[in-house]
Structure 1
Amino acid sequence: MTHPLSRRSALLGAAAVTGLALRGSPAEAIGAEAIGAEAIGAAAFDDARERWVSLLVGGSYNPAYADKTRAVEGSANAVLRKMKPVPGRPSLWPDLPLGDPRTGNFNRAYNRMRTLALGWATPGTALHRDRQVAESAVRALDFLHEHAYHEGLDRRGSNWYWWEIGVPRALTDTCALLYDGLPKDRLHRWLRPLRRWCPDPERRVSHPGVVETGANRAGKAMAVAMRGLLTHDARLVRRAGDAVSDLLRTTRGPGDGFYRDGSFIQHDVYPYTGSYGVDYLESVAKLIAMLTRSPWEITRTGNVYDIVDRSFMPFIVDGLMMDCVRGRQISVQGHRDYHSGQKAVEAILTLLESAPERYARRWRPQVKGWLTRNQAVPYDTLAPLASIARAKVLLEDPSVPVGPPTTGTYVFADMDRVVHRRPTWAYAIAMSSERIGAAEAMNRENLHGWYTGDGMTYLYTGDLTHWNDDLWPTIDPYRLPGTTVDTRRRADLRHGKRRLPPTPWAGGVALDREYGVAAMKLIADGSSLRAKKAWFLLDDAVIALGTGIRASDGRRVETIVENRNTHDSHPPLAWGDGWVHLPGVAGYALLDGAAAKVTRRKRTGRWRDIDKGATTGGDDTPVTRLYTTILIDHGVDPRQARYAYAVLPGASIAQTVAYRGRVEILANSGAVQAIARDDLLAAVFWRAGTVETAHGPLAADGPCTLLLRRDHERVRLAVADPSRAADEVKITLPWRVRSVKDNDRSVRKAKSAIKVEVGGSRGHAHTAIVHV
């Protein structure tokens, strides 16, 4: 086996390797970085480091994972084979010139080194613990230290993340993986730049006034902890553990962090559970595992298990992460919903090793169900070897049943998201307000995400490839499901531009985790378009109502009922008077006599069209997908237009045709939008108003969302104020109120009505059982 760098020592000058011992260890640090090492002992550092390496590569070689091992070997060999160091350029690989840090090539270069180190450390590869490979890696790291990343360099306007998290994480992983093959005088030299660029998990060097939060703090904590273990500095490891312990507290906001209702915010105003939140969970889970049974064991971990339940479980669909909480990452070609889902599953598998039994008892069947049902993107094609091994143990454990899909209705009031989960389908609604941004477009990513926070709806069915099969570069970005839009042409979203619609109205309420209501006031960006939009989430349907739709810009306005990626063929379509049926997806029933417009088109796009980021940018290869679009045309400059339709996931043609009589629309006005079905009443009161029901008037004297379900003499009630404008709402039921039981302290009887103190509750629910 030959290795390009092993024949180029002259090019690297002082980078010649001496004293390489594959089974030795670098000498302990001297000076400040050695403080604490003697008291604790080198074995504690080495044990924790070895646990980290085992999380990356697993244990001994297992023939059952031969294909995965070959893939690791192939990637590492590709990195090694293409190395052609040119100091004068400078570059370590021809396609990654290192002269300008703004390209992000130095960050890519360290990621490649991590790939090479992974191949060297993985048992069963031809590169495993190979002396020449280690020599080549050492020379490459010396080259990068000299030309790309050291403490004396200037960022020159490049992305702070690469310097403070990206490279530190890749470099410490690389050093941990190669540890037994490193010469004693090199490791401390390569890690010295982290004293400048990543000295403290809580501090941002490039912006001294910024205190790190969420995923950024967790990522830095990983780098700081690994530097401490590699250099035998107990203070660094302890500092990292303390920073993570602080992260495990929930916040009341505003701003970054996890909230009690399960919301997760990053960059102050954006829902990011499925992107930054997953990075956070991965880092915390691995830190807990790495430091277990060590002098720095993280003991205050209880809240991380609650976070998994509250924040992640509702958004994972058979191992896929819902796009409604992935932010601008939806536009990144190399980060699909299954990548985010795999990282979340890997983190949960890691946490299972330390989770209290009351959590583990629920999680094991849940994870086994995801892994069993998702055959579209099998877990073992994505995950690292160590995680695949843990998944295999779980799958082969006969004592663990295959858990069913998550069901329930979840309102995330602190990030304007609502999720409705049924046994065979799921539905999510992405809203925005003066608190929550409509779409983020940093680093030239998510350039066409204009309407992703304007009431976009996400329907998940048995087709687990719908959202990840090149949808984002090919879907018409002006016609996203659930949205009401005018048809103006848009420029690419600008870096860092925040759009917080000037309205507080976004949110909803759930009843018994079985039914839900969501509502938002639409104030369109750069347009006079206004609308009030509501969704009623039932056991077999979603009822969507819109009212007050108006605009005056001389453009056509549309509401998009559906825009479905049907991949490479148009499935048979059935339609009739007021209904459309798309087999394998859903039936769509128009409930107010309006006509739907249906189009079937082939659309071609490129990932580069929506992501031109320096390190994430998509390629220029055209991709084509077929779409079925169902929309309601409100005409040019509508005045008080409305819509009412039902989405019936998995329904047959007969069920679709018959559905119009299954639900009663009680109101669809600027004051109230309300429906009734069987024993359920659901309403959005935009302001004080009354709606007539079969049992009598239902009234509220202020804004709220409301669900009522009657069972003989008992009425279960749930109320929330998404506007966050009222202190108290008085609700008059269609029945005489006798008493209030099992109620939150904010709910009380007031003569023949109910009064709910909603002030200060930040749009969260208030519940009670009312005897009538």
Structure 2
Amino acid sequence: MPLSRRTLLTTLPASALLAVAAPLRARAATRPTTTGVADPGANPGADPGANHAALLANTVAIFAGTAESNARPETAAKLASLTSTARTRLAALDGAGPGELFKGLPLGTSDANLNTSYQYLYEIALATRAPGPAPSDLRDNVDVRRRVIDALARLHDTYYGDQSKGYYGNWFNWEIGISASVSKTLVLLEEELAAYRPGLTAAYLASMDAYLRNGKDGDVDLDSRFHTGANLADITTNRILQGAVTGDDARVVKAVADQLTVYATVDPYNPRHGVTDGFYADGSFIQHDSVAYTGSYGKVLLTRAVQTVKILEGTDYIDTATADLVAVVRGWVADGFAPLVFEGWMMEIVKGRGVSRTATGYTDVAVVVEAVVDLSGHTTGPDATALKGYVKFVRQTSKAALDPVVFVSPVSVARYADILADTSVPAADLGDAASHTAFNAMDKTVHRRPGYAFALARSSNRISKYEYMSGENLMPWFQGDGAHHLYLAGQDQTLAFGVDYYTTVSPYRLPGVTAPVETRRTIPELYGTAWYDNPERGFTSSSESQNTYVYFPRGTNTLSGGARLGTYGAVGLVLGDDAAYAAKQAGELPDDFVAYRNAVATKSWFMFDDEIVVLAAGVGDPAGRAVTTTLDSRIAAASDTVTVTGRLRDGSDWPGGDGGSGTAPGPVDWLRYADAGQGVSVGYVFLDGARDGDGGGGPRPTVALDTVTRSRRVVRTSNPDTPVTKRVFSLSVDQPAGARRLSTAHALVPNATERQLAAYEKYGRYGRGPLTVVANTTRVQAVEHRGLSILTANTFTPGTHHAGRLTIDGAASVLVRTSRDGTLSLAVSDPTTERGTVSLTLRGRWLRAVATDDGVRVRRVLGGTRIDVDTHQAHGRSLTARLR
């Protein structure tokens, strides 16, 4: 059931939410601090004391549960988990050695251990506040609470309170992580702190403010590059709790106002405070200025947003904006998250460095589900039904059982059980089973059909090629160079993707990637640390130089984007080097800084129902290195039976070999990969329009089917040294050193049978196949799908380009579909995001406009119909027209 479509992601946040933020800041400026006494002139009728009491009660209820929620049998496992965790932490507290608060966490030089120590104290305090029907020696245990308070005092006195000795390591721990645990602990133990150590809360607030060094005068600075997106939501949530504990109304009011700025849709042409982090009109989410990050920081922001609604419930802080805030977050779920969740699994293309972690995918989606569960409680009517239906849909389609024990709140566990038990709510996705989502603001594309989902990762001078940081995602070099993930229905995705995929698949052979044949070294291998350390040249951890050239470098190419027409799509990409290589060539980086050069290629993906057609032209290497273009890579369990079958153009079968390994002895019609263990298959149809370096016969693909064993630590230094063994399938086209440029053309056919693939072969020989490659050069790539009556093209260079009946001026992405009644629908986008107008001509008889988007003009010209599309500041968005 779709959500009702209000203006959620464009005008609403700026006009409503930001309008509320301004008077909140005015209130903050006139409210006295620490006294809790209201200024009647600032907000008549407001009662800060009652507001603060509500904030505290709401926060305790979120994290510890309520008597009502915790009496439910469904929350028993969650409460048992809270208690078990607290007992484990107490045992570690008892067993601590010199220089430790908890056993195994030495303090004094490790910010991570200090952060974890504070988290452990919070987990102990939480168990003392959780009500429940079963007796517990931890609940309301004053001795345990005072042990926590004494430990807080010790940490402050010895390791935290002296800022001249602190703030080493990762800034996040000092400004966000530690403050999050401390702030929640202060809320949980508020009464005990006041009675037992009355000055400790104030001491911690002073220190937390002092550690907010990327802020302004110990507070948020909206112009700081560190105070954006999910990070800003975290910081402001901490400050809301701090204000509630101390009765500092001004702190709460300003924190709420600051956090409301996060919910405004990012306008890339007019960013507020220069911030490009946040959600965009097309559902994209960016953090770190240029990293596609819905599946990591995005879900953190979603959680914080919903928690904000719950924390502030019943107070007057954002009463006038609550409905708008909920509506905005509903829009995030429908347009930003749901397209990226496939059968309960979060897609890899939006996880940044998180792809190297051992617990992602299904675990990521559990976080999203909890947020949706709680969000549904703040909506009514069709919107509530849609959200609840989505919760059921994820539960129904996920291949991993969602255990609500992982939820943060016992209240959420109870609500989740109520939703699942509600027979009046049908399970339903928030989008259609057949859909195409162009996340052009973050250079990502998702194409979905019943049975599969295709996720494509791109990059440009706007969006990072990858994210590496803190020893995570050690071999990321080609993850944004057209790498794809093909998710097949019914498969446990932990067996197909996740950390084991990146562990066992060569980083040079990610599917869809063209890479030079060379060996690259990781950042720790290059420099002996987790970053490039050169303070004299501006390279320190989290410096702007580190971010730009090491952690998440952007590409140098401008063209990356595509058009969407209904449920179909076209995407183009011109491969380019990253910013570090360009800067190194320009002499802007130190001599010992290592940067790698990429291969070159011009690529297109045309996405239909049964096929994804992939074209590549100009594939090669200016430096003369050997180059590998990987058409696909998949993993299977070591015990699975994996086979590759196929047919050559001469009518002979694909050689058997070791499960089908080897290089084709001649041109190939089709190949089929099958994993009997998982019951999945993928077909590869080789199309005319491909040429080898000598212009004859087309390139001959190579199949590799190897058993690979590697440690998960090869992709992340903190992963357990656990060996993983997988059967790794790779289908590639290999060019030797010095080879001329080549082109390739093939179709991915998810869930293909041999009979289905043989049909392409049969029709292809007589020119009656559904797919025709119209053009495949570095100037224009185009495909016609006769079965769907679609002609689609990408153009890459200035000038006039011809593709079938289309003439296109300059770089563009175009889809044209003709219906049975003669109506023609078209979609156009500017994949460079830099053009003011894209013009095209449809040759043939004149067509008149039936309906057009704003900015689309149709007129008659000699020999056909001219369409001019205003793409100025469209940021890659598709504009459409219907003609007859």
Tell whether the structures are fold-level matches, with TM greater than 0.5: yes
Q: Answer yes or no: is the 8 Å Cα contact 1:365–1:400 preserved in 2.
A: yes
Deviation digits for residues 574-603 of structure 1 (CA, Å, limit 9, x no counterpart): 411231232414222222464332222222
Out of 432, 436, 454, the residue aligned to residue 463 of structure 2 is 436
**Cα distance in 1 for residues equivalent to 2:251 and 2:382:** 33
Distance of 1:156 and 1:227 partners within structure 2: 20
Distance verdict in 2 for CA 1:581–1:747, change over 3 Å = same
- Is the 8 Å Cα contact of residues 96 and 104 (structure 2) preserved in structure 1? no
Contact preservation (8 Å) 2:215, 2:221: no
8 Å contact 2:818–2:824 — kept in the other structure?
yes
CA distance in 1, matches of 2:627, 2:77: 52
Q: What displacement does 1:314 show?
A: 1.5
Paired with 2:388 and 2:108, the residues of 1 have a C-alpha distance of 49
User: Are the equivalent residues in 2 in contact too, given 1:288–1:298 (CA < 8 A)?
Assistant: no
Amino acid at match of 1:705: S
| Cα distance, 1:134–1:421 mapped onto 2, change above 3 Å | same
Q: Which moved more, 1:391-400 or 1:45-54?
A: 45-54
Q: Is the 8 A contact 1:371 1:379 kept in 2?
A: no
How many residues end up aligned between the 2 structures?
731
Listed as ranges, the matches of 1:148-163 within 5 Å are 148-150=159-161, 152-163=163-174
Distance 1:480 1:377 in 2: 29
Q: Is the 8 A contact 2:646 2:671 kept in 1?
A: yes
**SS at 1:144's partner residue?**
helix
**Any conservation in 1 of the 2:510–2:632 contact (CA below 8 Å)?**
yes
What SS does the corresponding residue of 2:852 show, helix, strand or coil? coil
Q: State the 1:538 CA deviation.
A: 0.8
Distance in 1 of aligned mates of 2:213 and 2:129: 27
- Name the aligned partner's letter for residue 232 of structure 1: G
* One-letter code aligned to 1:94: K
Does the 8 A contact of 1:225 with 1:240 survive in 2?
A: yes
CA deviation after TM superposition for structure 1 residue 162, in Å: 0.8
Q: In the alignment, is residue 487 of structure 1 matched against residue 517 of structure 2?
A: yes
Deviates more, 1:667-676 or 1:335-344: 335-344
CA RMSD of the aligned region, Å?
2.6
Instruction: Pick the aligned partner of 1:475 from 496, 501, 505.
Output: 505
Letter in 2 for 1:276: Y
Q: Is the 8 A contact 1:369 1:405 kept in 2?
A: no
Q: Distance in 2 between matches of 1:267 and 1:664?
A: 41
Report if the CA contact (8 A) 1:37-1:232 is conserved.
Answer: no
Deviation at 1:356, TM superposition (A): 5.2
Matched with 1:414 is 441
1:627 matches 2:728: yes
Match of 2:589 in 1: none
**Mapped contact 1:138–1:182 kept (Cα < 8 A):** yes
Confirm or deny: 8 A CA contact 1:672 1:689 kept in the other structure: no
Say whether residues 1:78 and 2:78 are aligned partners.
no
My pick for the range that moved more, 368-377 or 198-207, is 198-207
User: Cα offset for 1:440?
Assistant: 1.8
2:76 matches 1:66: yes
Residue of structure 2 equivalent to 1:266: 287
Counterpart of 1:591? 687
SS in structure 1 opposite 2:575?
A: strand
Determine if the alignment matches structure 1 residue 576 to structure 2 residue 576.
no
Matches of 1:105 and 1:299 in 2, distance apart? Answer: 42
Cα contact 2:163–2:211 (8 A) shared by 1: no
Matched with 1:286 is 307
**Contact 1:328-1:440 at 8 Å conserved across structures:** yes
- 1:49-90 CA-to-partner distances (Å, cap 9, x unmatched) read 222222223332333343333332222111110114879x42
Closer/same/farther in 2, CA of residues 358 and 265 from structure 1, 3 Å limit: same
1:768 is displaced (CA, Å) by 0.4
Which of these residues, 94, 118, 134, is aligned with residue 103 of structure 2?
94
- Whether 1:759 aligns to 2:872 is yes
Shift of residue 275, structure 1, vs aligned partner: 1.2
Alpha-carbon distance in 2 for matches of 1:387, 1:478: 43
What is the CA deviation profile of residues 268-327 of structure 1, one whole-angstrom value per residue up to 9, with x for unaligned ones?
111111111111111111011110121223542132322222222211223322111111
Structure 2 equivalent of residue 11 of structure 1 = none
* SS of 1:523 mapped into structure 2: coil
1:130 CA drift (Å): 2.6
**Higher deviation after alignment, 43-52 or 699-708:** 43-52
Which of these residues, 55, 64, 74, is aligned with residue 48 of structure 1?
55
Give yes or no for the alignment of 1:556 onto 2:626.
yes
Shift of 1:174: 2.2
Measured in 2, the distance between the counterparts of 1:137 and 1:45 equals 23
Aligned: 1:653 with 2:766: no
**Paired AA for residue 857 in structure 2:** R
Deviations 1:127-161 (A, max 9, x none): 22233322322222222222222264433542211
The one-letter code sitting in structure 1 at the alignment partner of 2:105 is L
One-letter amino acid matched to 1:431 = R
Q: How has the CA–CA distance of structure 1 residues 36 and 470 changed in structure 2, closer, same or farther, with 3 Å as cutoff?
A: farther
CA separation of 1:563/1:750 partners in 2, compared to 1, >3 Å: closer, same or farther? same
SS at match of 1:733: strand
Matches within 5 A, 1:281-320: 281-297=302-318, 299-300=320-321, 301=325, 302-320=327-345
Q: Counterparts in 2 of 1:90-239, with a 5 A limit? A: 90-101=99-110, 103-122=111-130, 123=132, 124=134, 126-150=137-161, 152-179=163-190, 181-184=192-195, 185=198, 186-198=200-212, 210-211=224-225, 212-239=227-254
Q: What are the equivalent positions in structure 2 for 1:256-655 lying under 5 Å apart?
A: 256-297=277-318, 299-300=320-321, 301=325, 302-333=327-358, 335-355=359-379, 357-384=381-408, 385-404=410-429, 406=431, 407=433, 408-461=435-488, 462-463=490-491, 464-465=493-494, 466-468=496-498, 470-493=500-523, 495=531, 496=546, 497=550, 498-512=552-566, 514-524=567-577, 526-527=596-597, 529-577=599-647, 578-583=670-675, 584-592=680-688, 594-612=699-717, 617-655=718-756
Fraction of identical pairs, as percent = 29
Map of 1:649-688 to 2, 5 A cutoff?
649-660=750-761, 661-677=769-785, 678=787, 679-687=789-797, 688=799
For 1:555, the aligned partner's letter is R
